[in-house]
Structure 1
Amino acid sequence: MSKHSIQTLLATSTALAVCLIANVGYAVAAEVPAAEVPAAAGTADDQSTSANQAGQANDRQSLTTSDIIVTGSRTAEAAPLTASLTTTQPQAAISREFIDNANAASDFNELIALTPGVSISGTGNGQGFSETKAVIRGFQDGEYNVTYDSIPFADTNNPTHHSTSFFPSTTIETVVVDRGPGNASQLGQATYGGNINMYSRAVSDKQGVMGEALLGNWNSFIGRAEIQTGKIDKWNGAKFVLAGQYLKSNGALTNSPVMSKNLFFKGVIPIGDSNKLTVMSTWNRNYYYQSDVLKGSTCGYAQSGYATLKAVNCSAGSNIGMYGLNYGMGGDPTKQDYWKYNRTDKTTDFSYLRLQSDLSEHLSLDNRVYMYGYTNNTMSGNTSTVVTGFSGAGTATSPYKAVTDASQIPGYNKMNKYRVIGYIGQADYTFGFGKAKVGGWYEHANTWRHTWDFSWTTGLPSYDQKFYSGATSTLGYPSTALANIKYEQNSSWDQFQLFGELELRPVSNLAITPGVKYVNFKRGVNALVNADSYRSPANTSATWTKALPFGTINWQPKTNWSFYGQYAQGMYVPDLSSFYTPSYDAATAAQSSSVAATVKPQTSTNYQVGTVWHGRKVSIDLDGYIINVNNKIASATDTTAFSGTLVNIGTVHYKGVEGQIAYMPIEGLTVFGNGSYNYAHSGTTNAQVAKAPFSTAAAGFIYKHKGLRVSFSQKFTGPQFATELFSVKTSVNGVPTAVTQYSTLDGVRLYRISPYSTGEFAISQEIGTHFRIGATVSNVFNSRAITAVSNASGGASTTTQGATTYQTSYGTADQFSFLPPRSFMVDVRVKY
């Protein structure tokens, strides 16, 4: 990045800050009194937050120190989203008060939906009733970290997440969305595009019991209970919380019921005068009915040209033609989309022990051991044909002929089961003009994955998985007896990270923090049948290492105004699919390992600047960023490479400006808004990457007075493209080819999704000290906008120019996802 670019970025962001502050200066001309500047967003006696409490979120030993939220006014504290005066990167902290009054079924992605630069998809079955995905500035799930009490968690094939599987909102005290890789002490498998840092529910000093019941559309019911022991004097002030939640709903979509159960336990136990032990464990079980193959509703109409995507004029026989926009699963047992053929059952657990020790006035230690597990047992219909066996002789590369039965219903069983254990250790040493922090992280993961084909009609195996059809030899490939196994795979990783930071304060209002992190990541696979197009056995591994430098600055010219800057490098380790090449003997295993090792991790280089200002009635933060991604990983297009081989293909460039504001015109009323412009262009095509909105915005208000709380918010998601495809190259000289990215003939891109928005209204009233009644309305204006599309390879119009055929319309089998219809939920809460 050039010196001129950095200067331009800094000047632009500073100018925006000065202009906006000048425009609202009439409302906040007086400087905030010192008494109104708390050390953090809450105190040890304020049980609505867990800030400042040892063993809780955001304590002084927090690994992610930028998430110790320091506010400078009541306006900043009252806003649903705020940024810390001490932050070193763009951020939005979501308060517990906002979480407590949001739609009770919301998953952690939906809790952050209002934040700048964030867009959410996957809500079609109703808020909280289906898994969602979040995009941050164009970075997709898997390209940023998600942590719980500073402990990273993710799937073990790639670092993606299941939003309804681990932590319902009852287990979350607050969430901090850091739009950047953080400092060197920010740990994770994808310290790359940002961080969603969740913190567990606080344990109260006071004894109490709470029960809550909620009823809503689609026969939805949520029951909650919580017991707080308060401080127990005979146990040296130890305190515990036990909570549980039960959720059940028929869902907004046809034949798509869901159910979940959660138990949560946490204890904070003082040991002597200088140690605190935190014990936390949560268990979650949920199931839902959803196709594992079909990713939306078909319209059956091939809309021509490159116009904005719309589900209009749908054919009578399509999903939308038969069921409308609320299609989820069918009711016909002779078809593979019959809802009873498509069930996903998940069980998860997450536990840790944390010991915090003050060894002296200057030295403290923080040690955590943790474990989490995930089991996904999916039964699904399939789009293939049931193969009952084999007969005769085939070709040289396919030495058998399949015997099929089109009258049977194809299906499969998919299992993904992993267990992760880890340790995080950290030491903090404070001295006269700063603080040093060093630490490390070690983690081991074991995973078992399989997909077995069978017939729903007979319950017997379906042998429709053969060895790679392009092979020249059958040597080393699975026998026909294994043709019901798509893959049967064990995999593992062993990774460690070491970090060091030095926070220097040459003057009291200036913090300069250089740091470095070393990453060592070893991944291996041992498979009877690997999850690749060859279906070969596999037994190989590879190791990736890198040192990542960091540097941040935070300057507070006034107690309520700060400026910050960040330079940071991030890293994304290649997915398990880097081993999806044949390794059926010693030679091919060595070749597979070599191919995987040559894939360099994706890296990001981040330049960010911003400012945070908390006035008496107005709170503002603004930022600008430029992020360059190198070594972008994609499938090889070289005809001499193994099919599915991953290679580094180039760069992706991200840049944009973001900001948020909160205004308190009268006591009790807070008006807020935010917006972002997010450019995320591929260095290969120079086009916006898929599923990355060009812009986002949010606005709303919160009013609180004498136990009454009323709020409304509206989230706007700008235009985006549903796929990376400009056009699909379907054939060359009449020979079908793989789906590949090509420019359209006239330079216009397919699969554009229009801007859309959705709103949420909530009202509640405290009745005395023990009762609360309330209601929530989601998607207030009942928008049914398209939020995602899964494009099909067939059913589209094409045109041929020369020897190449291009797609010129949308396909009849394209699958659409929509915003769910308006929903209501009422609740009654009792507490003592």
Structure 2
Amino acid sequence: MKILNDLRGGKVSNGFALSVLTYCVCATMSSSVFAEDVIDLGTVSATRAAQPVQPTNTDRLSKTQVDKQKDLPAAAKAAISQGSLEAASAQSAVSTSYIQNMLTPNADFAQVIQMTPGTFSFSPNGPGLGQSSTFFRGFSDGNYTMTYDGIPFQDTNSPTHHSWVFFPGQIIGGAVVDRSPGRASTLGPANFGGSINLLSNDLTPDPSGSVTASYGTWNTRLFGAKVDTGNFGPDGSSNLMINASQMNSNGYETQNDQQRQNLAAKYQYALTENTILTLFGTTEEVKANTANGSPTRSQLDKFGDNYYLVDDPSQPNYVGYNFYRVHTDFEYLGLVSDLGAGWKLDNKLYGYDYHNTQYYDSALPGTKNAIGPTSAIDKLNAYHTFGDILRVSQDSRYGTLRLGLWAEQADTNRHQIPSNPVTLVDTFPQKFDQAFTTKILQPYVEYAFNVTDALKMTPGVKYAHYDQDFTQYPGKIQGNLGGLPYIKTSATYSDWQPSIDVHYLLDKNWSVYAQYAYGDIIPLSSVFDVTGSKVLTNPKPTLSKTAQIGTVWKSDRYTLDVDIYHVSFDNAYTSSFDPKSGETNYYSAGSSTAQGIEAESNILLGNGISLYLNATYGTNKYNSGVLKDQSAAQAPTDTEALGINYAQGNWNVGITDKRIGSMWNQNGAIPEAVKIQSYNVANVTANYTMPWGSAHPSLSTKFQFAINNLFSQQNVVGVSPANAPTKTSAFTASPDDQLTVTAPRSFTFTVTQNF
């Protein structure tokens, strides 16, 4: 395996590897076992099923294949998104049915979570056809953690994410958005604003499979196949699923083509009566002609809203000067076990890679710089991440003890080199060239007290520790480093993150909760981007403190989730250079407060029709200094969502509409610089499944027709002003402003053969 090869090849430091392996061995020798609650994401309990342990491996394996809909009332089963009666924070779980029936096959994870309360994202090249970031509660990407099957993944220079790589929609079986730092056991480098938790597809006990072909606007084609073996081998102890897909599209924007290939496999094996082994791996290749900027206002006015790249090599936005190649892979080895006496274990050993080679003309697309021998940039951003997540718990009549450790190391190489776009020959010195290693340790302990049968109180604490070792080489940003061939810088950050929540089950279908929790963000690697000297004062991790109360209620006809939140947090660090000492100092930009109310509901209207609604209202404002009372960028005042779904017989038809309230775009240090008006996006999806008759009960053909952006509303959702920021004068539109505009209406037709 890649992980073992990394250990043998020395890519992981001996001390770090020893630490990880020691914890793994100690966990095994201590006969400790862990299984999180249903709401504690990313793990699979070997004992979640209500029935007692069965003597065959088939039954043992099926215990990990939890039917998430099993005990839900009818309204909850039909909901697009909903909270959990066991949740002690504001959570929204996206249903598998929504992903399969109301999204197109080329959807990415940004679209998967788009309908949850407060979230929004956009892709100017068309849905699922480019890199898009997700926002909620005014927190941008990088201010929250993302996980897949409970494993955090993120870039290493900042904890941000790329929607078009790692995990396409075909290998996402569900998602849970937790709009809080979570409990002490919630792991991640950026729980500051919350977490988005993606889940892999469930394995099925019976053999199944499908072949999919899809075609849509802008010559968007997707072909995919999925095979699930069902339980096989001695006593049905094994199960394997393989999923492959290829997507090609011209995209809405001119010459912004994209190709995406993905292969994923998931295997489970019942080692013993109470122990399940899981192997998962996925790899993805993305090729795109994506530039490093947006078109200008004057270009869009002159050439149309889809103007982007051209076929003319005399222009800086020539398609041949701008291309993007990304390779990713992600693997884990998971072990869950129940050893009796209330002790449970869950351990995941994992690794993932990101290798991004990008080439673009730096004059593109909104600047007036001419093509020249150094006008292009040859860019590399590559990292390899290896880690282990160990979780142990013990249940007793008094409650549940949970403790664990997340240990991770990431090795990164990054450079940007000036280049001649015509000859593709690089010119030195480079803009910057750097390599760094990031190590993360997060041990935690918490105890869920059974105060009564209905009342639980869970205090806990997590210790977050970050080490970064940085090597810089001479370059245009760093300077000549005082004549040194390189400089090395290291820094250590740490903080404590306590949490406490109270959960009370008023009735079997009604719960209330209150939570107070700390979160943080690992400092960005850019704190090391200095000119010839080391950082004088390293910044501390940026902290948040979240308080919220909420309630979850479900019945056969209605669901209702409501929460009220208040988040106090420090803002990202800014820097100043001291010419006397030659050092760079980092200091806090002040504090902010985000607060508001969120609600979502699903209503069964009868005859297979359900109505989903959610709404949010909130503010995210600075507390002090010259920015006091100004709103943070990308923080809409309100959001609303509407979903109507008809599911009866062979039909499943859905209409969704998401409205994003007005917000501000930032200009330099001025957050309330450019007003972005409210906008909404409506989608329609119709599915018809045609069975092949009683002679072939496992065979059916599904036809899907989808319309994205039904009313073809093209809205300006982002502005990068050309004029310098000013604290006193209002924003004045310039022909050179770079604009982000939503794509117009698009159609997709899909045929899936199930067997």
TM-score range, shorter chain: 0.7 to 0.9
Confirm whether residue 493 of structure 1 aligns to residue 433 of structure 2.
no
1:297 maps to what in 2?
Answer: 295
Q: Which amino acid aligns with 2:525?
A: L
SS in 2 for 1:287: strand
2:417 maps to what in 1?
Answer: 452
The CA deviation string for residues 583-641 of structure 1, in whole angstroms up to 9 with x for no partner, is: x4xxx33xx2x422xx1211001100000110221110101000000364223387768
Contact 1:709 1:763 in 2 (8 A): yes
SS in 1 for 2:424: coil
Partners of 2:48 and 2:130 lie apart in 1 by 32
Partners of 1:69 and 1:508 lie apart in 2 by 24
Contact 1:424 1:439 in 2 (8 A): yes
Q: Which amino acid aligns with 2:317?
A: D
Q: Which amino acid aligns with 2:701?
A: F
2:104 maps to what in 1?
Answer: 103
More divergent stretch after superposition (162-171 vs 675-684): 675-684
SS in 1 for 2:425: coil
2:22 maps to what in 1?
Answer: none
More divergent stretch after superposition (509-518 vs 68-77): 68-77
Confirm whether residue 240 of structure 1 aligns to residue 205 of structure 2.
no
Contact 1:790 1:814 in 2 (8 A): yes
1:366 maps to what in 2?
Answer: 346
Q: 1:191 to 1:450 in 2, by over 3 A?
A: same
1:609 maps to what in 2?
Answer: 549
Could you tell me how far 1:750 is from its partner in structure 2? Answer: 3.3
Could you tell me how far 1:209 is from its partner in structure 2? Answer: 2.1
Q: Which amino acid aligns with 2:434?
A: Q
Residue of structure 2 aligned with 1:545, choices 472, 477, 494: 494
Could you tell me how far 1:194 is from its partner in structure 2? Answer: 0.6
Q: 1:720 to 1:661 in 2, by over 3 A?
A: same
Partners of 2:70 and 2:487 lie apart in 1 by 51
2:749 maps to what in 1?
Answer: 826
Confirm whether residue 784 of structure 1 aligns to residue 714 of structure 2.
yes
Q: Which amino acid aligns with 1:751?
A: V
Contact 1:571 1:603 in 2 (8 A): yes
Residue of structure 2 aligned with 1:354, choices 320, 334, 337: 334
Confirm whether residue 722 of structure 1 aligns to residue 723 of structure 2.
no
TM-score of the aligned structures, taking structure 1 as reference length: 0.79
1:759 maps to what in 2?
Answer: 682
Contact 1:533 1:644 in 2 (8 A): no
Contact 2:282 2:330 in 1 (8 A): yes
Contact 2:316 2:364 in 1 (8 A): no
1:809 maps to what in 2?
Answer: 732
Could you tell me how far 1:106 is from its partner in structure 2? Answer: 1.3
Contact 1:487 1:535 in 2 (8 A): no
Could you tell me how far 1:364 is from its partner in structure 2? Answer: 1.1
Partners of 1:58 and 1:640 lie apart in 2 by 64
The CA deviation string for residues 141-183 of structure 1, in whole angstroms up to 9 with x for no partner, is: 0000000010000000010000111000111110000000111
SS in 1 for 2:404: strand
Q: 1:406 to 1:434 in 2, by over 3 A?
A: closer
Could you tell me how far 1:793 is from its partner in structure 2? Answer: 3.3
2:457 maps to what in 1?
Answer: 512
SS in 2 for 1:76: helix
Contact 1:180 1:194 in 2 (8 A): yes
Partners of 2:48 and 2:80 lie apart in 1 by 12
Alignment of 1:221-370 (within 5 A): 221-234=221-234, 236-292=236-292, 294=293, 296-299=294-297, 318-370=298-350
Residue of structure 1 aligned with 2:524, choices 550, 570, 575: 575
Partners of 2:679 and 2:189 lie apart in 1 by 32
Q: Which amino acid aligns with 1:422?
A: G
Residue of structure 1 aligned with 2:573, choices 614, 629, 633: 633
Gaps of 5+ in 1: 1-39, 45-51, 60-67, 300-317, 386-403, 463-481, 726-738, 743-748, 799-803
Q: 1:54 to 1:154 in 2, by over 3 A?
A: farther
2:13 maps to what in 1?
Answer: none
Residue of structure 2 aligned with 1:442, choices 396, 407, 425: 407
Contact 1:701 1:713 in 2 (8 A): yes
Gaps of 5+ in 2: 1-46, 52-59, 692-698
Q: CA RMSD in A?
A: 2.5
Q: 1:429 to 1:175 in 2, by over 3 A?
A: same
Could you tell me how far 1:274 is from its partner in structure 2? Answer: 2.0
Contact 1:335 1:409 in 2 (8 A): no
Figure out how many residues of one structure are paired with residues of the other and give that number: 683
More divergent stretch after superposition (140-149 vs 352-361): 352-361
Q: Which amino acid aligns with 1:448?
A: N
Partners of 2:379 and 2:449 lie apart in 1 by 52
Partners of 2:314 and 2:396 lie apart in 1 by 73
More divergent stretch after superposition (632-641 vs 651-660): 632-641
Alignment of 1:24-103 (within 5 A): 72-101=72-101, 102-103=103-104
Could you tell me how far 1:459 is from its partner in structure 2? Answer: 3.3
TM-score of the aligned structures, taking structure 2 as reference length: 0.86
Bigger radius of gyration among the two: 1
Residue of structure 2 aligned with 1:377, choices 347, 357, 360: 357
2:426 maps to what in 1?
Answer: 461
1:303 maps to what in 2?
Answer: none
1:682 maps to what in 2?
Answer: 622
Partners of 2:475 and 2:563 lie apart in 1 by 45
SS in 1 for 2:247: strand
The CA deviation string for residues 709-741 of structure 1, in whole angstroms up to 9 with x for no partner, is: 110000000001111x4xxxxxxxxxxxxx654
SS in 2 for 1:326: coil
